[in-house]
């Protein structure tokens, strides 16, 4: 069943016919200030299945954080359909979004300082969201101890954030985000302030938790090594998804596994030609597309630079429309 599953890995398992857990269709997000409008998402389509661990990559300003904030219930789309677990994020009233944020999502920010309370130890930080939800002190301690073990920090339970390394702080932050057992874990550049080796350790913790608990994970990152740890990488360009890289073989930290790279075709059949190919072909505003056997061929417009359609010279009278009445006899 490995090969059939979206994401291609046999792990905490989504039946093949399951509905997507996250479904974005034609999502727009427009930020308006006094005179300026920024279209941060322009018709974005994305599906994520329960139990998937995936990454979003893309140039700065391509809309990654905007989407993550929408999925986190921190912001709402301007138009389109954005659903998580069957809940429509466009129409959910603000009060209900508060509940949604508490029960459905855990969030890890890039800035280590934003994730943790500075004057509490690691375990107390994890206990905090549990106590807020009404857990007893004993139950909170038990859960926090278990999570500290899972992120490999059982021996640092009493350390405050300033007594932990950056990577350790992010591992505690993951434990805090998962304290109330949300089905969805979102992380916006969680390793942005870490060196490569430490970033790898933090990604490993995400991967282990995904495998052990089946929590769905979406990570925004600039770190190319993420492909080694996720089922799928989706690339953003100008507020839309443009490409997908899917692992073909089973997840394994030891083996280099094969990956397939796809261009995304949106629901209207629009396909983004990868930028390097567009540049190599010299694609301008128009291209010739033809069906050749079982594939299509795309060629740069071989005419001059694409401009307006040719016009008749001005000394030639325009043709008489076929429907024009014949001139009347005198
Ligand atoms: N609150 C806001 N008000 C106005 N414009 C915004 C706001 N948030 C984001 N934008 C704009 O929306 C676009 C997408 O921003 P976003 O933060 O989603 O990009 P990103 O892909 O996360 O970039 P980065 O990799 O730099 O974090 C950018 O042009 C940004 O300037
Ligand atoms: Mg961002």
Mean pLDDT of the chain: 85
Q: How confident is residue 4, by pLDDT bands cut at 50, 70 and 90?
A: very low
Whether 139 has a pLDDT exceeding 70, the answer reads: yes
Closest-lying ligand 1 atom to the alpha carbon of residue 29: 12
Q: Name which residue sits closest to atom 30 of ligand 1, judged by CA.
A: 61
Tokens 């300026």 map to which residue?
36
Token pair for 98: 């508060």
Measured distance between the N- and C-terminal CA atoms of the chain, rounded to whole angstroms: 85
Distance CA 142, CA 137 (A): 9
Enumerate residues with CB within 5 Å of ligand 2 (an ion).
65
Task: Note the pLDDT of residue 87.
Answer: 94
Q: How confident is residue 248, by pLDDT bands cut at 50, 70 and 90?
A: low
Percent of the chain with pLDDT over 70: 83
Whether 69 has a pLDDT exceeding 70, the answer reads: yes
Task: Note the pLDDT of residue 257.
Answer: 58
Least confident of 61-75, 179-193, 314-328: 314-328
Distance CA 93, CA 282 (A): 48
What pTM does this model have? Answer: 0.82
Distance 200 CA to ligand 1 centre (A): 26
**CA angle at residue 302 from 300 to 303, to 5 degrees?**
130
Q: Which residues line ligand 1 (CB under 6 A)?
A: 31, 38, 40, 58, 60-66
Q: What is the pLDDT of residues 258-313, one digit of tens each?
A: 667 788 777 777 777 877 888 888 888 888 888 889 888 888 887 644 445 545 44
Closest-lying ligand 1 atom to the alpha carbon of residue 220: 22
Q: Name which residue sits closest to atom 18 of ligand 1, judged by CA.
A: 63
* Ligand in closest contact with the CA of 60: 1
Query: Which residues 6+ apart lie within 8 Å of 153 measured at CB?
Result: 122, 164, 168, 171, 172, 175
Q: Name which residue sits closest to atom 27 of ligand 1, judged by CA.
A: 60
Ligand 1 pocket test: which of 35, 65, 240 has the largest number of ligand atoms within 8 Å of its C-beta? 65
Percent of the chain with pLDDT over 90: 60
Task: Note the pLDDT of residue 249.
Answer: 55
């Amino acid at each position: 069943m490995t090969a059939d599953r979206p994401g291609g890995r046999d792990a905490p398992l989504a039946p093949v016919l399951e509905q997507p857990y996250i479904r974005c269709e034609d999502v727009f997000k427009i930020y308006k200030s006094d005179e300026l409008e920024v279209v941060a998402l322009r018709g974005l389509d994305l599906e994520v299945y329960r139990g998937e661990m995936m990454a979003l990559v893309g140039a700065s300003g391509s809309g990654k954080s905007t989407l993550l904030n929408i999925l986190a219930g921190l912001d709402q789309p301007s138009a389109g359909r954005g659903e998580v677990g069957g809940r429509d994020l466009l129409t959910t009233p603000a009060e209900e979004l508060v509940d949604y944020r508490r029960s459905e999502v855990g969030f890890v920010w890039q800035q280590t300082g934003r994730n943790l309370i500075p004057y509490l130890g690691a375990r107390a930080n994890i206990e905090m969201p549990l106590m807020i939800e009404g857990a007893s002190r004993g139950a909170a301690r038990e859960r926090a101890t278990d999570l500290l073990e899972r992120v490999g920090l059982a021996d640092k339970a009493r350390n405050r954030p300033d007594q932990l390394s950056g990577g350790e702080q992010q591992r505690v932050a993951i434990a805090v985000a998962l304290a109330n057992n949300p089905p969805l874990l979102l992380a916006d550049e969680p390793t942005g302030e870490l060196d490569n080796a430490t970033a790898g350790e933090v990604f490993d913790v995400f991967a282990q938790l995904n495998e052990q608990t089946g929590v769905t994970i979406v990570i925004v990152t600039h770190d190319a090594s993420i492909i080694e740890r996720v089922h799928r990488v989706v690339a953003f360009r100008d507020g839309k998804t443009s490409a997908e890289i899917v692992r073909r073989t089973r997840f394994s930290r030891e083996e280099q596994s094969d990956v397939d790279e796809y261009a995304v075709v949106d629901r209207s059949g629009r396909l983004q030609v990868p930028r390097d190919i567009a540049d190599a072909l010299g694609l301008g505003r128009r291209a010739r597309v033809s069906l050749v056997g079982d594939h299509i061929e795309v060629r740069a417009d071989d005419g001059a630079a694409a401009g307006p359609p040719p016009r008749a010279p001005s000394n030639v009278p325009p043709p008489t429309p076929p429907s024009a009445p014949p001139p009347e006899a005198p």
